[in-house]
Amino acid sequence: MLHLILFLGFGAACVAGAVNLLAQRHPINSALSLVVVMGALAGEYLLLGAEFVGAVQVIVYAGAIMVLFVFVIMLLNAGEEELTKGSRVALLFGVPGLVAGSLLVAWVLLHSNTGEVAVGALPGPPKAIARLLFHDFLLPFEVTSVLVLIAIIGAVVLAARPEPPQAKRES
Amino acid sequence: MVPLYYYLALSGILFACGVAGFLIKRNLITIFLSIELMLNGVNLSFVAFAAHWHQLSGQVFVFFVMVVAAAEAAVGLAIIISVFRTRQTLNVDQINLLKL
């Protein structure tokens, strides 16, 4: 019972944050509501017994990535977005499509005979995760390190200020 | 005890909000935030399935998704800065070329 109440509380915070992200016009408000979503998701992970994932969610997602976003928003001094007129064709096909899609998903979810998940059903201690990560998933782990290196180099190259023309070397 | 499909429904709602934001929003940074929201929705379903099937590999995959999201955020935000520097706007309706 307590599990259900906590699930509904964190889930309501998640959905409220996500809807607020859509409703807000200023990017900084959207970014801060995404922080709310990520914090509530960390709570859901704790309910599922994935403590380590929850901690990493707060540190990496809500901490590092969102700070990057907020920095860029403030750096670019992004103002409110202008509203543009939506197309009528999108409204005509989009709304029935949305209704049909959500009904289909709801039907599948309600008729799939899935079991229940208990609190801490699968304890995710850092030790077990580390054994899996550094043993069975060692190659993907190393490949992601290369990916991160490429991303760092790419970010530095892309965000670097283009050098002024007179400083350009004649080749 | 919470049925598994509650978690899947929440994950689906988050993903749908991300898709809607991606399609509706006109600000480049908000579109990027919507992508992060979609990734978070997928992560929730990974962890829920990991708890349901008693397989820790689901949680390991969440880490990989987070790494990819971090790399994507770094490169994407660099591209956004670069685009803003040449166009002075973040409205996607006015950005039709990635070329500088």
- Quickly name the fold that domain A1-80 has: Four Helix Bundle (Hemerythrin (Met), subunit A) (1.20.120)
In angstroms, the separation between the Cα of residue B99 and the nearest Cα of chain A is: 12
- Does B81 lie at the interface with A, CB-CB under 8 angstroms? yes
Give the pLDDT of residue A91: 78
- Does B99 lie at the interface with A, CB-CB under 8 angstroms? no
C-alpha B42/C-alpha B51 separation (Å) is: 15
The complex's ipTM?
0.91
Give the pLDDT of residue A75: 87
Has residue B95 been placed in a domain? no
Has residue B22 been placed in a domain? yes
C-alpha A95/C-alpha A98 separation (Å) is: 5
Has residue B100 been placed in a domain? no
Low-confidence residues in chain A, pLDDT < 70? 81, 83-86, 113-115, 117-124, 164-171
Has residue B50 been placed in a domain? yes
Low-confidence residues in chain B, pLDDT < 50? none
Q: Please indicate whether, in this complex, the C-beta atoms of A84 and B79 are within 8 angstroms of each other.
A: no
Q: Closest-CA residue in chain B for A3?
A: B1
- Provide φ and ψ at B91, rounded to 5°: -75, 125
Q: CB–CB of B55/A117 below 8 Å?
A: no
Give the pLDDT of residue A121: 59
Give the pLDDT of residue B88: 83
End-to-end CA distance of chain B: 55
Interface test with A, best of B63, B83, B85, B94 (most A CBs within 10 A): B63
User: How many domains does chain B contain in total?
Assistant: 1
Q: Please indicate whether, in this complex, the C-beta atoms of B47 and A44 are within 8 angstroms of each other.
A: yes
What is the domain partition of chain A in residue ranges?
1-80, 125-163
Give the range of the structural domain holding residue B25, as residue numbers without chain letter: 4-87
Give the pLDDT of residue B72: 92
In angstroms, the separation between the Cα of residue A153 and the nearest Cα of chain B is: 9
Give the pLDDT of residue B66: 92
